[in-house]
Amino acid sequence: MKFRTLAFCLAMIAGAAHAQLAPADSLKTGKGTLVIQPVEHASLVLSIHGTTIYADPAGRADLFKGLAAPNLVLITDIHGDHFDTTVLASIGASQATLVVPQAVADQLPAAYKAKAVVLKNGATTTLDGITIHAIPMYNLPESATAWHAKGRGNGYVLTIGGKHIYLSGDTQNIPEMRALKNIDVAFVCMNLPYTMDVPEAADAVLAFKPKVVYPYHYRGKNGLSDVTAFKTKVNAANKSIDVRLINWYPQP
């Protein structure tokens, strides 16, 4: 898989991305070049052939300025760092199709409900030629009072032009993640006390062996997780996994 950072990729999303954002990456697929634009924390934008996908748009609305309006919006959970109605309004999400778990659908403003596609864990839909498979995301040990109870939120595996992109959402080292196969690009969380610590995230990645992995969602209660240590742990055990360290927390 040829995976590269290209300045011109920004133009494929929006002509010119916001100056504060990390550089976009690109992935060659059977449908052409998929552009991957990190935004902030759990938020990112994927773009291919005129289709723009926002994942968990939340946080600073100004960071989305200059990016193309979404055709699809994926939301993983009800927490404010994933589901943010102020940001949804600012990006024009009422004109997009929203893919959400039921818990998010229950809280959507009326303007979005008619265009929402609700997926439960294990369900699959295809929109704009992109297959979206919802998988569990939850804390261990399982508990109804955990930060993330099993069945409430969704991780997603997208299939785009024969490539598989995994968005972990908020999860721990669960069997469903460890069992993933043939993942080309993974976005994996690591922030305490809400998800995994660095060793647990590294162990999960070593189990399902994505070709490329981005540690994201790594701001926790006590600051930022040590993503350099994550890269070291992963590559000490498997040098073939391309760990990509991106700044997911742009400065004002």
Q: Give the pLDDT confidence of 101-137 residue by residue, as tens digits.
A: 999 999 999 999 999 999 999 999 999 999 999 999 9
pLDDT at 15 over 90: no
Which distant-in-sequence residues (6+ apart) come within 8 Å of 209 by Cβ? 183, 238, 240, 241
From the candidate CATH numbers 3.60.15.10, 1.10.274.10, 3.30.750.24, 3.30.1360.10, the one assigned to the domain spanning 3-243: 3.60.15.10
Are 91 and 57 within 8 A, CB to CB?
yes
* Cα–Cα separations (whole angstroms), residue 72 to 40, 102, 117, 186, 228: 18, 17, 10, 19, 32
User: By CB neighbour count within 10 A (0-12 exposed, 13-18 middle, 19+ buried), where does 114 fall?
Assistant: exposed
pLDDT digits (tens, 9 = 90+) for 179-192: 999 999 999 999 99
Q: Check whether 7 has a pLDDT greater than 70.
A: no
pLDDT number for residue 145: 80
Please, which pLDDT band fits residue 16 given cuts at 50, 70 and 90? very low
Torsion angles phi and psi, residue 223, rounded to 5: 105, -160
Cross-strand pairs, 135:
155
Q: What percentage of the chain has pLDDT greater than the value 70?
A: 92
* Residue 182 DSSP class: S
Q: Poorest-confidence range of 4-18, 114-128, 218-232?
A: 4-18
How confident is the model at residue 184, as a pLDDT? 98
Rounded to 5 degrees, φ, ψ at 215 are -70, 125
* Residue 251 pLDDT level (bands cut at 50, 70, 90): confident
Q: What is the pLDDT of residues 164-183, one digit of tens each?
A: 999 999 999 999 999 999 99
State how far Cα 238 lies from the chain centre.
23
CA 196, 200, 202, 204 dihedral sign is: negative
Q: Locate all alpha helices (DSSP H) within the chain, ordered by sequence.
A: 9-14, 85-90, 102-105, 110-113, 175-178, 198-208, 227-237
pLDDT, averaged across the chain: 92
* Contact call for residues 183 and 157 (beta carbons, < 8 A): yes
134-167 tens-digit pLDDT: 999 999 988 888 899 999 999 999 999 999 999 9
What pLDDT, in 10s, does the model give residues 65-78? 999 999 999 999 99
Q: What is the pLDDT of residue 53?
A: 98
